[in-house]
Structure 1
Amino acid sequence: MKNKLLILLSFIGFTASAQELNKKIEDQIKHKEVMLNQCTREGIINFPEFKASYDVNYENYKVDSTQLKDLKKLAGDKKITVVMGTWCGDSKFQVPHFIKIADALHIDKNITFICVDGNKKAENGLIDNLKIERVPTFIFFDKKGQELGRITESPKKSLEIDMKEILTAKTK
């Protein structure tokens, strides 16, 4: 019984210290409510500041189907971290496109979304080692956690082609 109580208390302590998903704050730089830290897809796409542009940009984006077969094979076991701002025009444009590609590839379980404030910061060192300068930043990792590459702010060619080039390149 004593061991069960200790396990339960440990679990409660861990849960209380875990970061809040879909956290909203009043941003002192942007002077509006923004999302911060790790967020779910549902939290982001339903956030009022983001939703209107998300709906239009997701619906209107035409996925490059010629790239999907190769991308499906390449992206299967990769992890992707998307660092974005719900306040950011480039995030409002590129993230819906990326999500539509992810939906076509059925890789949504491999994606982590992290929202930043107007200073491009998150709490508790969440992105300190990611060297984020602009958002959105799409970072691709192999199954060992090594960064393969990133797309920062907007793609050079297209999201699909840039993703394919990153995922076919050798691990750094």
Structure 2
Amino acid sequence: MKSIISAILLLFAMNTSAQEFNKKVQDQYRNQEVLLNSCTREGLTTFPEFKAGYDSYYAAYKPDSVVLSELTKLVKGKKMTIVLGTWCGDSKYQVPNFLKVADALKLSENDITFLAVDGAKKTENGLIDKLKIERVPTFIFTDKSGTEIGRITERPHETLEKDMLIALSTKPALPGKPEKKF
């Protein structure tokens, strides 16, 4: 009996912790369907509202090969989290450009996490509460331990790859000190 109860509790825990990827919801703030919470690249690039400009922006972006060669060393062992809105013009433009850079760097999809927010820049279950998101897209770079080492907020100052180079070259801040942000 004890093992049956344990098995039921385990199945319940697995079902409640399993996250639905590419969840579509009607956003009350934007009055349109949006993706919410964790997404996959495929989910983003096939979502109609996001797909509309994705192919053309991705095709048109030409990353700087000199900067890419410098970035190649710096991205090893790093993780990237992209907080975006499928409704957001900057997200629709910058995320395809970032993915063009990521593809040129041959980044693993396991190293990139996509988190989609609603029009109030929120997710369910506090998924982004600790990330201090003010604008989207926000590209967050972390080291092996999960410590944030830099971020690009909304749009780059120069280009995505140049701003990534600066963000990834920056040493993590001391506890209590802010990280390098753009």
Q: Which residue of 2 aligns with 1:106?
A: 106
Q: Which residue of 1 aligns with 2:95?
A: 95
Q: Distance in 2 between matches of 1:41 and 1:117?
A: 18
1:81-160 equivalence runs, <5 A: 81-107=81-107, 108-160=109-161
Is the deviation greater in 4-13 or in 123-132? 4-13
Q: Distance in 2 between matches of 1:3 and 1:99?
A: 47
Structure 1's consecutive aligned runs of 4 or more residues displaced over 4 angstroms after TM superposition are 1-5
Q: Distance in 1 between matches of 2:51 and 2:26?
A: 18
**Aligned AA (1:37):** N
Q: Which runs of 5+ in 1 are unaligned?
A: none
Q: How much has 1:68 moved relative to structure 2?
A: 1.3
Secondary structure at the counterpart of residue 19 of structure 2 = coil
**Aligned AA (1:170):** K
Q: Which residue of 1 aligns with 2:169?
A: 168
Q: Which residue of 1 aligns with 2:44?
A: 44
TM-score, scaled relative to structure 2: 0.89
**Aligned AA (2:134):** E
CA shift digits 1:4-54 (9 cap, x unpaired): 883475145313332211101000010000000000000001000000211
Secondary structure at the counterpart of residue 124 of structure 2 = coil
Q: Distance in 1 between matches of 2:106 and 2:15?
A: 29
**Aligned AA (2:15):** T
Q: How much has 1:117 moved relative to structure 2?
A: 0.1
Change (3 A) 1:10 1:159: same
Q: Which residue of 2 aligns with 1:67?
A: 67
CA shift digits 1:119-164 (9 cap, x unpaired): 0000101000000000000000011111111100000111011101
Secondary structure at the counterpart of residue 148 of structure 1 = strand
- Are 2:22 and 1:16 aligned? no
Secondary structure at the counterpart of residue 73 of structure 1 = helix
CA shift digits 1:74-109 (9 cap, x unpaired): 001101100000000000000000001101111132
Instruction: Calculate percent identity across the aligned residue pairs.
Output: 58
